[in-house]
Amino acid sequence: MYYVVIKLLNNTSDKKVHSDNFAYWICESIVVWDPKPEQVSVKRLMIYSLIPIVSIYAMWRIQKFWKITLILIPFAIVDRLLTAAMTQNPSSEIGPLDFISLFFLGISVIVTVLLVKHYAGKYNEKIMNGKFK
């Protein structure tokens, strides 16, 4: 069935070509992994990085998603360890738990904004100097 769909879409002859593979065709046609290499607005990406879900786009746009994510993982680990330690202590109140979680959320948002600002500037320099791959 896939061969028939590809053949109709490609309008090729009976010989098999590399694009007859349906998965290859999907990846080639629809999936875009890297953004266009053009300058980005640093201020706009900093605003995007303030919102936790939209910060994923900001990190992807400057192609530093994995690097920034790996930098932020220790903050999440420390937050979870401190929260677990506080819940094991029966004399602790719920207030400090909320404070710890909000503190580390704030720290991770601030670090994300600063890292996006830094890497967006470097990204723009690479584009302007023509050193972008």
| Number of separate domains in the chain | 2
Q: What is the pLDDT of residue 45?
A: 93
Q: Provide the domain limits for residue 8.
A: 1-31
Q: Is the pLDDT of residue 130 over 70?
A: yes
Q: What is the DSSP letter of 34?
A: S
Mean pLDDT of 24-31: 55
Task: Render pLDDT for 107-125 as a digit per residue (tens, 0 to 9).
Answer: 989 999 999 999 999 999 9
Q: What is the pLDDT of residue 99?
A: 78
The structure tokens listed for 52 are 């936790």
Amino acid at 105: L
Residue 6: inside a domain? yes
CB 10 within 8 A of CB 20: yes
Q: What is the pLDDT of residue 101?
A: 79
Same domain, 96 and 48: yes
Same domain, 55 and 111: yes
- Best CA proximity match to 85, nearest among 73, 97, 98: 97
Give the global pTM. Answer: 0.68
What is each CA distance from 107 to 31, 51, 56, 84, in whole angstroms?
34, 13, 17, 19
